[in-house]
Amino acid sequence: MVKIRNIRKTFGDNTILRGIDLDIEKGQVVVILGPSGSGKTTFLRCLNALETPEAGQIEFDNAAPLKIDFANNPSKADILALRRKSGMVFQQYNLFPHKTALENVMEGPVAVQKKAKETARSEALRLLEKVGLGDKAGLYPYQLSGGQQQRVGIARALAIQPELMLFDEPTSALDPELVQDVLNTMKELAQEGWTMAVVTHEIKFAMEVADVVVVMDGGVIVEQGAPETLFANPQHERTKRFLKQIRAK
């Protein structure tokens, strides 16, 4: 289980997160929805310490437990340990343009985890096959479509063998015809039992894959529940308003 408590984040005078509490069970897919500016991407980035909260705790409760209290200025070692437990898939791919697909996937295991290059290469090739890109290993990002780049990004995140996969609107930068390939890859990961937190506006994906849907607005969680319940009978007015706007698009 991942236990998240009282995560708070400000930028200058602007309070983005106002105390987020959330539990993510092993193997769960948690989809995070909310209007633009609700804090959902900032929250996801806090789970990987790409943004550092001013307060709050993140705890991985498993065979190799980790608990970080951001109010107590966690050490660089603690931050690195957190990043090893959570793999991030970004909205804009963030691949190294001067490295091939294979080299992008190998980067984390070799540079961060100090794996032998041959071991990392073998694992990276397996992961590229897994996301349907085994024949693209030697290509550079500019030679790949947006959907293919995003699937390389997923393979790269998987390469560090994280306990929690984080997806920040992974299809929002893609042309419509490329979206489904990425969503299908994510569905396969869910079926394999990967623990995932996904920021997205893809309601159909949430209905089909999510175990829990979380709705954020104004830096807080306003509602959460099983997708079939939350979408059919939202309780909070802000949830109703947001879902109405999404369905109107």
- pLDDT tens per residue, range 56-68: 999 998 767 999 9
Residue 249 has pLDDT above 70, yes or no: no
Q: What is the mean pLDDT of residues 217-236?
A: 95
- What are the structural domains of the chain? 2-248 (3.40.50.300)
Average pLDDT over residues 39-44: 96
> DSSP characters for 48-81?
TTSS--SEEEEEE-SSS-EEEEGGG---HHHHHH
Could you give the count of Cα atoms lying within 13 Å of 86 in the half-sphere of its Cβ? 28
What whole-number distance in Å separates Cα of residue 3 and Cα of residue 20? 11
Contact 200, 214 (CB under 8 A): no
**pTM of the predicted model as reported, rounded to 2 decimal places:** 0.94
Q: In the predicted model, is pLDDT for residue 173 greater than 90?
A: no
Side chain identity, residue 65: P
The tens digit of pLDDT for each residue in 87-100 reads 999 998 899 999 99
The answer on pLDDT for 223 being more than 70 is yes
Q: CA gyration radius for the chain?
A: 18
